[in-house]
Chain A
Amino acid sequence: MQVRLGLLRLVDGAAPVLAAARGLLAAEGLEMRFSVEPSWATLADRLAWGALDAAVMLPPLALAAAAGLRGGGVPLVVPMGLSAGGNSIALGHAPAEAAAGGGGAVACGRRLLRWLRAQSAPPRFAVVHAFSTHAVLLRYWLAAAGADPDGDIEIVVVPPQHVTAALAEGRIAGFCAGAPWGEAAERSGAGRVLFGSSAIWQGQPEKCLALAAPWAAAHPAAVKGLLRALLQAGRICDRPAEADGLAALLAARLDLPEDAVRATLPGGQALERVRFAAGATWYPWLSQGAWWAAQMGRWGWLPPAADALALAHEVYRPDLLAPAAGELGLPWPVAGAKTEGGHSCPWRLPGNPEPLPLEADQFCDSLIYSENGQILQGVPTH
């Protein structure tokens, strides 16, 4: 059976690309038809109107689409996480110099804020889509440092493949984008990577798999096969020994700069690297969906908190993943939601038949969030 999957030219689309190249999908009786999309808007439209069955998606964009913020179309569901981390905050040379120094992301942000306010007009910062993890993380960080993301900077949208040029030409002061574009900006001399997104939220969930809900409902066997293949592919993508081959594969299939890709894969040299499966990245945590939804509500993109939580629970569907994960013998959490933040080193969460090994998940402002995405503990600085 054929599955039509859309993705953008980014490192975190590695799992499906590898699953196809290694025959993991063929073993499930599936043939993947890839559609490399020029923009998130195109990807979301195609998924919403039945021209794609599946997509490598940004969680906030999936939530925005499900909430009807982009117009009509078929509902979508998120049965699986595909990657964590890998984004960079890159700045032009002048702001980078102003912000650099010790003390973590918030201290950098405070130094940057002084530079921002010394400019004649709010400097422009680029994200890759309005409803992106990048937009949420950039806002989260600046707000934690005492800045007003709607006043101290102007946020603009620039496609990921164009951010490096925009930075080099001085059209933007900085950007937050996925791998390998921060690394590429640094290598080309356009600017500097201040830090990776893990400095804002350690191991932040990044891309997820989104499925057109009617397609998923009509083809449960294909869904299970697809998820099994992607679960296995994610584990392979995590092995540093596979990184050279994977970098070459992604460079060839997605037309990406191979060196920069290699650096951002597990075991690479980049400041921020992508994680694919480890730390139960594959699990579609309800608490993470709730966190994104709550943050979207914070900036006025979504209706009030209660609705945002209901939306996250409607879109995030661990029940769809359970059969595939069970067959592969993956540990399954006792609860599908957890607190987010507060762990400065790897920890374990109760699961069956054994606990799940999770990674550190601290926020730059040390806050801890409840299963519903609300501040649970800590002194809110914003």
Chain B
Amino acid sequence: MVLARLRCVKILLADDDAARARALARALAEDPTLHVVRIPRGRPLAEAVAAEAPDVVLVDMAHADRDALEGVRALSARAPHPVVLFVDQDDPAFMEQAIAAGVCSYNVLGMPPPDVKPILRAAIALFRHHQRAHSELAERRVLERAKAVLIRERSIGEPAAHRWLQRQAMLRGRRLVEVAREVLRARGEAEEA
């Protein structure tokens, strides 16, 4: 059978961020040699690993069940299936970036499957993209809230508030969002809603 010869890699995806998990699953699903299984929210990670026996686990670095995942390999007498997620250990800078991107690394059997790198790179690229989109959205919110404060305080319109922030940013050589944050901070408002 053709499919059997393709050496299908089963990937268990554990990410509580539903949008990111969907995006990741979609990207991975484009490759016919990858079979992606997503963990339903609330299902213990260690239990899912035992039941699904995946080749690769893609796990969100901040997942609270990560200790349990480490426990699967450290506490269990029977050898668990590879729980991966990787980065070459000889490249700390890359690993650091991976951590910053919210990806974590595991290496249960000592060696990654030969084709894990493109998977990981795709995952990291997606995490980054998602993170960037997320921070852009957050910056827009800060800007809108700062404008709302100025509109209220000075009884001016939205265009005038925007111009005031732009002028301050230009005069002081700062980014617009930094000025907006200062406006909120000076009034004791939380910078991130």
Question: Which single member of B75, B77, B105, B107 contacts A156 (CB below 8 Å)?
Answer: B75
A42 partner residues in chain B, CB cutoff 8 A: 61-62, 66, 104
The distance from the CB of A129 to the nearest CB of chain B, in whole angstroms, is 5
Q: Which chain B residue shows the least CB distance to A37?
A: B62
A354 partner residues in chain B, CB cutoff 8 A: none
| Given A50-B96, A71-B89, residue A159 in contact with residue B77 (CB < 8 A) | no
Interface size range on B against A: 20 to 34
A128 within 8 A of B: yes
The distance from the CB of A45 to the nearest CB of chain B, in whole angstroms, is 6
Cα–Cα, bound, A156→B68 (Å):
7
A-B contact count (CB 8 A): 84
Whether the pair B71, A129 counts as a contact (CB closer than 8 A) is: yes
Question: Which single member of B64, B68, B92, B106 contacts A72 (CB below 8 Å)?
Answer: B92
B43-95 CB contacts (< 8 Å) to partner A: 46, 61-75, 77, 89-90, 92, 95
Interface size range on A against B: 20 to 34
A21-60 CB contacts (< 8 Å) to partner B: 38-42, 45-46, 49-51
A162 within 8 A of B: yes
A11 within 8 A of B: no
The distance from the CB of B59 to the nearest CB of chain A, in whole angstroms, is 9
Cα–Cα, bound, A140→B105 (Å):
31
The distance from the CB of B70 to the nearest CB of chain A, in whole angstroms, is 5
Whether the pair A156, B71 counts as a contact (CB closer than 8 A) is: yes
Whether the pair A157, B64 counts as a contact (CB closer than 8 A) is: no
Whether the pair B62, A157 counts as a contact (CB closer than 8 A) is: no
Q: Which chain A residue shows the least CB distance to B108?
A: A71
Cα–Cα, bound, A324→B72 (Å):
40
User: Residues of A at under 8 Å CB distance from B?
Assistant: 38-42, 45-46, 49-51, 69-74, 127-131, 135, 150, 155-159, 161-162, 301
Given contacts A42-B104, A45-B61, A71-B106, 7 further A-B contacts (CB under 8 A): A41-B66, A51-B100, A69-B74, A72-B89, A130-B73, A150-B77, A155-B75
User: Residues of B at under 8 Å CB distance from A?
Assistant: 46, 61-75, 77, 89-90, 92, 95-96, 99-100, 104-107
Q: Across chains A and B, which 3 residue pairs bring their CB atoms closest together, nearest first?
A: A157-B71, A130-B74, A72-B89
